[in-house]
């Protein structure tokens, strides 16, 4: 009986993680004496029904249990009562630290009698988990406060500004501290593209046959009198070709050299999202979802659940000594000593690096993509292969090229040829991206200044300068990181939010602002310029980093931010009271009930609706005339939207007339050629590339 009583009173250790997926694997690593449970993410948050921040009492947040988490907490409380030690093993970042802190409060762990410790591991492997258990610590309140500050700031912006958007534009819209800046960045790029005026330039190549060879050499025009020169017009091109008529071409210089291309750094969250977007066509959200699966663990047959990659939210390129050693052994055994990098490269970053984390890498380098392919979905395999190859490449030697540059003179004019040949592939053996050059224009070996050249023909082409490209998810993430806006964990949800709100749309990878997005961005710029100021947002991120480091008090940041926000909101509300915001009534009559239809905003922009809703639910597309006649049929050009909400201009008589343009046409015709003119910011430009007429727009 005594033995039974002793067994009943014996207590276990309880380890709490965020995701249920991790439970089975970690339980296996820790063995008997440990129970493992999951919180399923956050258990407490600010209420949805109110701001949830006590402005009058030191900006104290009012946390409540998240709906649906009551049963999870009840189950965890039962397990806490049976434990004499509780380990909080939520994710190793600010968010995870805050979840541990909330669990402490919600489960009343400090009153439970159990010893409470925080443990973190960067990968779900036996060694990493066992090692983490040897180094328990207290909850880092600096990290918790940094997360609280971010949450409170975001709630203040969303709760205070969103109602203004509802009043001014339409219900259901939202503003966000980071999302509004991201929207502005996209809007600014679109404005830059719309106002861009292309300029003409020409290229001139010459085909020359080296004596005794069958394949001609293609040389590019460099300039005259030893100076580089761009060919700006057809007239300049014809003058050069006239000068070269009958001229002899001779090689004046041949230089050989060598250049190297360094191996890429291992992935951070940002670079993984960018590369997965470019090479796999994954959205940032999809990349993070699949990376989470690879991190939490994949069932590998008899091996059970295994975490395949390290933690996915990091901006560090640091790699553990064990991983460096394992990669070095693999490279020597599978490629040879010459493929191993001599030193270790690292990313230089003036901003804050979360160096407690490693770069994103495979947990076991010997677990190659081919070995685990049968256990992964197609998308999981492709992302894991990308991560494995990138990490392997980061440990490998540089690629080396032999370069040859040739100068060819004809009178005062000079042409050049450049060629390269790989002499050692290095890291390119396992990893290439679209930026890696492909060998071209391989030259004959014995080309020198004595080689005679026979003229074959000229090849010329007209070109127009191009504006900056539309943002893609990859390039937007790159710029957000470069500008210091957001953090690794915020890029994907920020882009997903502004896409879900129909502020932007994606077509063939490119991001475009919608009419609704333009309206929201304009209102934010007019009423809350500080919120959408890039420098202000970047400085705020630096302050949040300061809180995490313990050098800034989080309440100080909040109390300095809120009064300015409140003042801007009050001013915007006063402005709204002056203007009675009503739906714009049109002359078009509802064919069902006879009322005049009004203009409303939908997810993709404006549409016509009956004011008799809900009795009459009639709606129609809204074609906004711009006062310009179609150049093909003479009918009205109207503003239209693609199915995804991108704005363009087309003939109202579609499908009978197929005229369309992305640029806004104007009524005035080009004085030079009579062609259609387009609005470009403060200028008007002719749409005919042969003409190129540009003039100042009249101020209205």
pLDDT level of residue 391 (50, 70, 90 thresholds): very high
pLDDT digit string, tens, across residues 624-657: 889 999 999 999 999 888 877 788 999 998 889 9
For 551-567, the DSSP string reads SS-HHHHHHHHHHHHHH
Classify domain 200-262+399-464 by CATH number.
2.70.20.10
Which pLDDT score is estimated for 585? 86
SS3 content of the chain, % helix, strand, coil (to 5): 35, 25, 40
Instruction: Say whether 123 sits in a helix, a strand or coil.
Output: coil
Q: Higher confidence at residue 582 or residue 681?
A: 681
User: Which pLDDT does position 351 carry in this prediction?
Assistant: 43
> pLDDT at position 428, please?
95
Average pLDDT in the 346-363 region? 65
Band of residue 344 on the pLDDT scale cut at 50, 70, 90? low
Asked if 251 and 407 count as a contact pair (C-beta separation under 8 A), the reply is: yes
Closest CA to 408 of 559, 296, 253, 536: 253
Q: How confident is the model at residue 439 (pLDDT cuts 50, 70, 90)?
A: very low
Q: How far apart are CA 161 and CA 176, in angstroms?
A: 8
* Order of all β-strands in the sheet with 683-686: 665-669, 676-680, 683-686, 694-696
Distance in angstroms (rounded) separating the CA atoms of residues 201 and 393: 40
Domain 269-394 has CATH 1.10.290.10: yes
In this prediction, residue 515 has a pLDDT band, given cuts at 50, 70 and 90, of confident
Q: Evaluate if residue 436 carries a pLDDT over 60.
A: no
Catalytic residue among 87, 311, 339, 491: 311
pLDDT value, residue 348: 47
Looking at residue 440, its pLDDT comes to: 52
Q: What is the pLDDT of residue 441?
A: 57
Mind listing the pLDDT tens digit for each residue in 267-279? 999 999 999 999 9
| pLDDT above 90: residue 456 | yes
Cβ-based neighbours of 431, under 8 Å, separated by 6 or more:
264, 389, 390, 392, 393
Q: What is the pLDDT of the chain when averaged over all its residues?
A: 90
pLDDT band at 317 (very low <50, low <70, confident <90, very high): very high
CA distances 150 to 45, 94, 98, 302, 569, Å, are 13, 10, 11, 43, 20
- Digit-coded pLDDT (tens) for 95-131: 999 999 999 999 999 988 899 999 999 999 999 999 9
> Residue 661 in 3-state DSSP?
strand
Architecture category of domain 12-139 in CATH: 3-Layer(aba) Sandwich (3.40)
528-584: pLDDT as tens digits: 999 999 999 999 999 999 999 999 999 999 999 999 999 999 998 888 766 555 678
* Mean local confidence (pLDDT), 358-381: 96
Q: Which residues pair with 640 in a beta bridge?
A: 648
Residues 386-408 as b or e (16 or more Cβ within 10 Å = b): bbbbbbbbbbbbbbebeebebbb
Q: What is the rounded distance in angstroms from the CA atom of residue 93 to the CA atom of residue 210?
A: 63
Q: Where are the domains of the chain?
A: 12-139, 148-195+469-578, 200-262+399-464, 269-394, 585-696
Q: Which residue has the tokens 């390039």?
A: 475
How do strand 64-65 and strand 83-88 relate by DSSP bridges?
unpaired
Supply the pLDDT for residue 352.
Answer: 44
473-482 helix and 491-500 helix, angle to the nearest 10 degrees: 130
Q: How many Å apart are CA 78 and CA 184, to the nearest integer? A: 49
Residue 311 annotated among the catalytic residues of the structure: yes
CATH homologous superfamily of domain 148-195+469-578? Topoisomerase I, domain 2 (1.10.460.10)
Instruction: Supply the pLDDT for residue 613.
Output: 86
Distances (CA, A) of 272 to 360, 385, 449, 462: 8, 12, 48, 38
């Amino acid at each position: 009986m005594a033995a039974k009583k002793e067994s009943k009173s014996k207590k276990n250790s309880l380890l709490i993680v965020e995701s249920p997926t991790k439970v089975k694997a970690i339980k296996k690593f820790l063995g008997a004496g440990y129970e493992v449970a999951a919180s399923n993410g956050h258990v407490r948050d600010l209420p949805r029904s109110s701001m949830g921040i006590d402005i009058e009492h030191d900006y104290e947040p009012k946390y409540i249990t998240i709906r649906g988490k009551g049963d999870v907490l009840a189950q965890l409380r039962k397990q806490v009562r049976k434990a004499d030690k509780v380990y909080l093993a939520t994710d190793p970042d600010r968010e995870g630290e805050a979840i541990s802190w909330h669990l402490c409060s919600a489960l009343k762990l400090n009153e439970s009698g159990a010893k409470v410790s925080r443990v973190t591991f960067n990968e779900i492997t036996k060694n990493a988990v066992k090692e983490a258990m040897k180094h328990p610590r207290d909850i880092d309140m600096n990290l918790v406060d940094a997360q609280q500050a971010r949450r409170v700031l975001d709630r203040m912006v969303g709760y205070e500004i969103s109602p203004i958007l509802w009043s001014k534009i339409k219900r259901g819209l939202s503003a966000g501290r980071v999302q509004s800046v991201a929207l502005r960045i996209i809007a600014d790029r679109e404005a830059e593209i719309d106002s861009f005026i292309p300029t003409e330039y020409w290229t001139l190549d010459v085909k020359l046959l080296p004596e005794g060879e069958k394949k001609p050499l293609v040389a590019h025009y460099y300039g005259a009198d030893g100076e580089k020169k761009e060919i700006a017009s057809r007239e300049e091109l014809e003058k050069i070709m006239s000068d070269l008529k009958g001229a002899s071409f001779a090689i004046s210089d041949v230089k050989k050299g060598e250049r190297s291309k360094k191996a890429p750094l291992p992935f951070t969250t940002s670079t993984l999202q960018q590369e997965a977007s470019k090479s796999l066509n994954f959205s940032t959200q999809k990349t993070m979802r699949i990376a989470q699966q690879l991190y939490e663990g994949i069932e590998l047959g008899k091996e059970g659940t295994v975490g395949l990659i390290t933690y996915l939210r990091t901006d560090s390129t640091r790699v553990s000594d064990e991983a460096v050693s394992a990669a070095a052994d693999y490279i020597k055994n599978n490629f040879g000593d010459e493929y191993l990098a001599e030193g270790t490269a690292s990313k230089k970053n003036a901003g804050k690096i979360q160096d407690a984390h490693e770069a994103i890498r495979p947990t076991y380098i010997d677990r190659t993509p081919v070995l685990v392919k049968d256990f992964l979905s197609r998308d999981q395999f492709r992302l894991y292969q990308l991560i494995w190859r990138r990490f392997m490449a980061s440990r490998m030697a540089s690629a080396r090229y032999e370069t040859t540059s040739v100068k060819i003179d004809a009178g005062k004019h000079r042409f050049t040829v450049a060629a390269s040949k790989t002499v050692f592939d290095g890291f390119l053996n396992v990893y290439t991206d679209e930026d890696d050059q492909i060998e071209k224009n391989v030259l004959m070996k014995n080309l020198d200044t004595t080689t005679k050249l026979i003229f074959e023909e000229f090849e010329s082409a007209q070109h127009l300068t191009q504006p900056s490209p539309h943002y893609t998810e990859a390039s937007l993430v790159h710029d957000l990181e470069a500008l210091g806006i957001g953090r690794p964990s915020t890029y994907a949800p920020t882009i997903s939010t502004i896409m879900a709100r129909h502020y932007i749309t994606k077509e063939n990878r490119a991001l475009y602002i919608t009419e609704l997005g333009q309206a929201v961005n304009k209102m934010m710029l007019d009423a809350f310029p500080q919120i959408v100021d890039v420098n202000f947002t970047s400085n705020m991120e630096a302050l949040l980093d300061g809180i995490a480091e313990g050098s800034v008090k989080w309440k100080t940041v909040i109390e300095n931010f809120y009064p300015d926000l409140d003042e801007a909101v009050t001013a915007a509300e006063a402005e709204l009271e002056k203007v009675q915001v009503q739906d714009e009534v049109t002359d078009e009559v509802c064919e069902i009930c006879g009322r005049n239809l009004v203009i409303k905003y939908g997810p993709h922009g404006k549409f016509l609706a009956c004011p008799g809703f809900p009795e009459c639910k009639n709606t129609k597309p809204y074609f906004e005339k711009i006062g310009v006649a179609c150049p093909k049929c003479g009918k009205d050009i109207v503003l239209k939207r693609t199915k995804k909400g991108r704005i363009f201009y087309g003939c109202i008589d579609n499908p009978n007339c197929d005229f369309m343009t992305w640029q806004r046409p104007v009524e005035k015709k080009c004085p030079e050629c009579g062609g259609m003119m387009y609005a470009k910011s403060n200028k008007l430009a002719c749409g005919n590339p042969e003409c190129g007429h540009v003039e100042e727009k009249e101020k209205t």
